[in-house]
Amino acid sequence: MKIAVTSTGKTLDSQVDPRFGRAACFIIIDTDTTDFNAIDNENVAAAGGAGISSAKVVIDAGAQAVLTGNCGPNAERALSAAEIKLYTGVTGTVAEAIELFKSGKLTEAAGPNVQSHFGTGS
Amino acid sequence: MKIAVASGKGGTGKTTIATNLACAVARMGRKVQYLDCDVEEPNGHIFLKPDIKKTQAVTVDVPEVDLKKCTGCGKCGEICQYSAIVHLKENNVLTFEQLCHSCGGCLRVCPADAIKPKPLNIGDIEFGKAGSINFVHGKLRIGNVQTPSLIKEVKKHIEEDCLAILDVPPGTSCPVVEAVKGADFVLLVTEPTPFGLNDLKLAVGLVKEMNLPFAVIINRYGIGNEDVEKYCKVENIEIILKLPDDRRIAEAYSSGQIILDALSQYSEEFSKLYEKIKSIKAGIDDKRRQ
């Protein structure tokens, strides 16, 4: 299955980006083959609606789960409507996050864990 | 004539100036209208104590999607600049009403006619009388964020035969631009502190960009330092009024009183303010005619 991990860089040893909507990039990885690609997130500096636009990016990439630090209510609503599983509170490197996911050690988020505009720094 | 009372920094005394100017001019026998455009937190009514006679709800159009008609083309989400409508996959379309700017783009590009406008109630406008002053204010509903849309509606009620005094929200963002747009004169209220000066500079930048005639009022004059005055001198900006840091003004304010009522010695200051605005405005109009 394909999963999306928010990442500060384009490699698997990059740190997980704590923000969903304004993550530096998304690493889309196939957990069966470990093939992955990194998508630069154009919504980093969006005026608003970054979470929703980022949800659209991972939906279009075909991800079935999202691993991130924090996710706000609008992005959560979009991901949930697209039946994408959401895991928040994830830290460490992207590779570590993927291992935790594969070993079933992550717990699915029950909803958004931060308010809107959490990742804007204001 | 439309006078907008604005400030970069919040809490400098916009409402104090706007309400007292309204009262002073009304007492001179002129028809006055006071419009509170600070719709997120209107407070002019605390001082003017109007008798509200009419309330009007304000709505904006947001998209409503008929998913049965949706073909899943995704054009609605592509045109939206605010992610207020997003196509997920197939005919799964979500709307985020609070992000919508009511441009109508999604309705127009939908090839299946699946999107219809739906009214969203964003707030109310109340109308009343405060003595001889015609009172209007907008009240944004809690949880709504379409501030400029409501301000625009409030301003539709400006009466041309009155001196219209607009109480503007603080800052220099979209609601301020909407509120000062079309004003004949802008009063920028500041305080003589580093914060006051910093935000005054931003506000001056805004009114200059919008090409609006303006002057500065220094409130709580006597505190802080002289940097605001120095700045105005260098920039050739007129300081039209200095209201002193008078404890009795603060006391009147904190009990919801008009300064003119509590401290009659300030009546003349506000009458003079109006006369000065008129003469500056006349000078500008003369220059423009030449």
Query: Cα Rg for chain A, rounded, in angstroms?
Result: 13
- Residue A121 has what pLDDT? 64
* The total number of structural domains that make up chain B: 2
* Residue numbers in A near B94 (CB within 8 A): 52, 77-78, 81
pLDDT tens, position by position, B65-78 = 999 999 999 999 99
pLDDT tens, position by position, A12-57 = 999 999 999 999 999 999 999 989 999 999 999 888 899 999 999 9
Question: Looking at the structure, do residues B133 and B201 belong to the same domain, yes or no?
Answer: yes
Query: Could you tell me if residue B172 is inside a domain?
Result: yes
Chain A residue with Cα closest to B90? A82
Question: Looking at the structure, do residues B85 and B223 belong to the same domain, yes or no?
Answer: no
- Residue B288 has what pLDDT? 83
Per DSSP, helices labelled H in B156-266 are 174-180, 194-209, 227-235, 247-254, 259-262
pLDDT tens, position by position, B233-282 = 999 999 999 999 999 999 999 999 999 999 998 999 999 999 999 999 88
Residues of B at the A interface, defined by Cβ within 8 angstroms: 77, 82-84, 86-89, 92, 94, 96, 99
pLDDT tens, position by position, B128-141 = 999 999 999 999 99
Question: Looking at the structure, do residues B31 and B105 belong to the same domain, yes or no?
Answer: no
Query: Could you tell me if residue B118 is inside a domain?
Result: no
| Nearest-angstrom CA–CA distance, B256 and B195 | 26
Q: Are strands B85-89 and B133-140 parallel, antiparallel or unpaired?
A: unpaired
CATH of the domain at B177: 3.40.50.300
pLDDT tens, position by position, A105-115 = 998 998 888 88
Q: Is B18 left (phi over 0), alpha (psi -120 to 50) or beta?
A: alpha
Burial letters for B253-276: b for 16+ Cβ neighbours within 10 Å, e otherwise?
beeebbbbeebeebbebbbebbee
Query: Could you tell me if residue B195 is inside a domain?
Result: yes
pTM: 0.85
Question: Looking at the structure, do residues B212 and B159 belong to the same domain, yes or no?
Answer: yes
Q: Are B163 and B3 in contact (CB under 8 A)?
A: yes
Question: Looking at the structure, do residues B91 and B150 belong to the same domain, yes or no?
Answer: no
The alpha carbon of residue B234 is apart from the nearest alpha carbon of chain A, in Å, by: 34
Chain B residue with Cα closest to A52? B83
Whether the predicted pLDDT of B111 surpasses 80:
yes
- Residue B184 has what pLDDT? 96
Q: Average per-residue pLDDT in chain B?
A: 96
Residue A26 corresponds to which amino acid? F
| Nearest-angstrom CA–CA distance, B38 and B136 | 11
Give whole-number Cα distances, B112 to A16, A26, B195, in Å. Answer: 41, 33, 54
Backbone angles phi, psi at B50, to 5 degrees: -75, 155
Question: Looking at the structure, do residues B36 and B96 belong to the same domain, yes or no?
Answer: no
**What percentage of chain A carries pLDDT values higher than 90?**
83
Q: Are A1 and A31 in contact (CB under 8 A)?
A: yes
| Nearest-angstrom CA–CA distance, A42 and B258 | 52
Q: Which domains does chain A have, with CATH numbers?
A: 2-120 (3.30.420.130)
Contact A74 B84 (CB under 8 A): no
Test mutation, A2, A20, A74, A117, chain B, max B CBs within 10 A: A74
| Nearest-angstrom CA–CA distance, A25 and A40 | 4
CATH of the domain at B101: 3.30.70.20
Question: Looking at the structure, do residues B72 and B136 belong to the same domain, yes or no?
Answer: no
Q: What is the DSSP letter of B141?
A: P
Q: Find, among A57, A66, A112, the residue nearest to B87 by Cα.
A: A57
**What percentage of chain B carries pLDDT values higher than 70?**
100
Average pLDDT of the segment spanning A86-100: 96
pLDDT band at A75 (very low <50, low <70, confident <90, very high): very high
Question: Looking at the structure, do residues B161 and B240 belong to the same domain, yes or no?
Answer: yes
Query: Could you tell me if residue B76 is inside a domain?
Result: yes
- Residue A114 has what pLDDT? 87
Q: Is B115 exposed, middle or buried (0-12, 13-18, 19+ CB in 10 A)?
A: buried
Question: Looking at the structure, do residues B102 and B177 belong to the same domain, yes or no?
Answer: no
The alpha carbon of residue B69 is apart from the nearest alpha carbon of chain A, in Å, by: 19
Geometric angle at alpha carbon A111, from A33 and B94, rounded to 5°: 85
Owner of token pair 């957990």: A31
| Nearest-angstrom CA–CA distance, B83 and B102 | 12
pLDDT tens, position by position, B171-228 = 999 999 999 999 999 999 999 999 999 999 999 999 999 999 999 999 999 999 999 9
Question: Looking at the structure, do residues B131 and B107 belong to the same domain, yes or no?
Answer: no
Q: Tokens at residue B275, please?
A: 């006369």
Query: Could you tell me if residue B16 is inside a domain?
Result: yes
ipTM at complex level: 0.85
Query: Could you tell me if residue B219 is inside a domain?
Result: yes
| Nearest-angstrom CA–CA distance, A85 and A77 | 11
- Count of C-beta atoms within a 10 Å radius of residue B159: 13
Residue B83's domain comprises 67-113
Closest partner CB to A49 (pick from B83, B88, B89): B83
Q: Tokens at residue B121, please?
A: 């109630």
Closest partner CB to B96 (pick from A52, A59, A82): A52
Question: Looking at the structure, do residues B147 and B104 belong to the same domain, yes or no?
Answer: no
Backbone angles phi, psi at B164, to 5 degrees: -95, 125
| Nearest-angstrom CA–CA distance, B8 and B176 | 9
Q: Tokens at residue B175, please?
A: 């609601």
Question: Looking at the structure, do residues B88 and B197 belong to the same domain, yes or no?
Answer: no
- Residue B284 has what pLDDT? 86
Whether the predicted pLDDT of A122 surpasses 80:
no
Q: SS3 for A84?
A: coil
Q: Is B38 exposed, middle or buried (0-12, 13-18, 19+ CB in 10 A)?
A: buried
